[in-house]
């Protein structure tokens, strides 16, 4: 059973106004005094954000329990520092992000200018174990067309700087401002992958391998493939679904590689369109079908993903739960729909944030 780990980025907000607060240092200081959490939380690019990572888990029950536990601990530490945590992929309310005092982040601010200052977005990154770089690159080549479906399922950023964006995942559009972000061409081998990353670093446009922000990449620190397309999910159950589907995609791709089945040869241009379509409509409209790159209803595309990974999910015991979770999202909507429903009911973005704070800890 391949192990899975999840990294989530959370917003720190004022519990009364809903506005993001630059209190990550205070929250981290409190977490560092707790032996259980000391190595779980990390500083992020902006002081209004907090990141945590789970331990590698083989079972999705254990992964879900850890996400819930750490979210609860983050809420406790934040409360002690005078703020609250919200699993929001972008702040609904206007904000002027402040960049952490860190040599790496200061380099990014000087290099990328306003793009760095506006990058206060929160994602969900999933790590799945692979046996080698060769297997990892074979997986990256084969999961490319299916990743936009994860954007649609996780969409949780419909508001930006106090305004409705008409996107389900506006975070993913903001993320594309990084010069190394987005889908990739087929690599074919680990050697070609590493050669491409080395050439990118050699341009001086990015600082190091850690700034290669591919939709899916080999982790620089762990023997994993890291999938980075999802918004941070409003509900912990949705984060578990994303992790389940990513592991299913990785296992399916590895089996296809071992069986000699070639990856789909969609161009980067088409993959970028699929990403845009998923970010724009989420689960509320059409998506581009991963096999044909033609428009199809979101429900049929989600079911195609489940069918694609059916054998892998069946073998891990996750198939029925994944089907039920997908059906729930298709019926009731993703985080973006939840936010919009609160906005339509109350007319208050502060109430949107308050509802998301509550759901983050549920």
CA dist., res. 173 & res. 350, Å (int): 23
Mean pLDDT over 186-201 rounds to 98
All structural domains of the chain: 4-360 (3.30.590.20)
pLDDT of residue 102: 87
Question: What string of DSSP letters covers 217-255?
Answer: EE-SSSSEEEEEEEEPPSSHHHHHHHHHHHHHHHHHHHH
- Give pTM, 2 decimals: 0.97
Q: Which residues of 17-40 are buried (b: 16+ CB within 10 A; e: fewer)?
A: ebbbbbbbebbbebbeeeeebeeb
Which residue in this structure is represented by tokens 């996107």?
A: 167
68 pLDDT more than 80: yes
36 pLDDT more than 70: no
37 pLDDT more than 60: no
Q: What is the pLDDT of residues 290-338, one digit of tens each?
A: 999 999 999 999 999 999 999 999 999 999 999 999 999 999 999 999 9
CA angle 336, 342, 345 (to 5 degrees): 140
DSSP assignment letter at 261: P
38 pLDDT more than 70: no
Strand partners of residue 297: 286
33 pLDDT more than 90: no
With a pLDDT cut of 90, the percent of the chain lying above it is: 95
Residues with Cβ within 8 Å of residue 264, at least 6 apart in sequence: 142, 144, 145, 290, 291
Q: What is the pLDDT of residues 100-115, one digit of tens each?
A: 988 999 999 999 999 9
Under a CB-based contact definition with an 8 Å cutoff, are residues 316 and 1 in contact?
yes
> How far is C-alpha 354 from the chain's CA centre?
22
């Amino acid at each position: 059973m391949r192990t899975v780990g999840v990294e989530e980025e959370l917003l720190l907000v004022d519990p009364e106004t809903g506005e993001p607060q630059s209190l990550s240092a205070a929250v981290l200081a409190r977490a560092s005094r707790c032996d259980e959490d000391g190595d779980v939380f990390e500083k992020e690019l902006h002081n209004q954000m907090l990141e945590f990572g789970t331990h590698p888990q083989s079972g999705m029950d254990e992964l879900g329990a850890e996400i819930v536990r750490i979210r609860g601990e983050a809420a406790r530490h934040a409360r002690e520092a005078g703020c609250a945590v919200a699993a929001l992929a972008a702040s609904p309310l206007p904000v002027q992000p402040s960049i952490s005092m860190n040599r790496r982040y200061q380099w990014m601010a000087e290099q990328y200018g306003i793009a760095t200052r506006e990058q206060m977005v929160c994602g969900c990154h999933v790590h799945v174990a692979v046996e080698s770089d060769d297997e990892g690159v074979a997986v990256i080549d084969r999961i490319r067309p299916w990743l936009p479906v994860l954007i649609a399922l996780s969409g949780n950023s419909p508001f930006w700087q106090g305004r409705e964006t008409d996107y389900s995942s506006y975070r993913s559009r903001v993320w594309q401002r990084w010069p190394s972000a987005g889908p990739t061409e087929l690599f074919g081998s680990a050697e070609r992958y590493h050669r491409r990353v080395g050439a990118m670093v050699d341009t001086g446009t990015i600082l190091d391998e850690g700034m290669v922000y591919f939709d899916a990449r080999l982790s620089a620190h762990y023997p994993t493939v890291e999938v980075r397309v999802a918004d941070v999910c409003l509900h912990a159950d949705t984060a578990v679904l994303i992790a389940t589907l990513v592991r299913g995609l990785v296992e399916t791709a590895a089996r296809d590689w071992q069986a000699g089945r070639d990856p789909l040869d969609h161009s980067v241009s088409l993959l970028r369109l699929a990403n845009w379509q998923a970010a724009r409509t989420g689960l509320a409209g059409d998506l581009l079908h991963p096999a044909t790159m033609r428009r199809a209803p979101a429900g049929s595309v989600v079911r195609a993903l489940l069918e694609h990974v059916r054998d892998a999910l069946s073998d891990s015991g996750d198939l029925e739960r994944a089907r039920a979770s997908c059906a729930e999202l298709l019926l009731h909507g993703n985080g973006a729909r939840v936010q919009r429903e609160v906005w339509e009911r109350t007319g208050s973005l502060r109430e949107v944030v308050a509802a998301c704070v509550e759901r983050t800890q549920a």
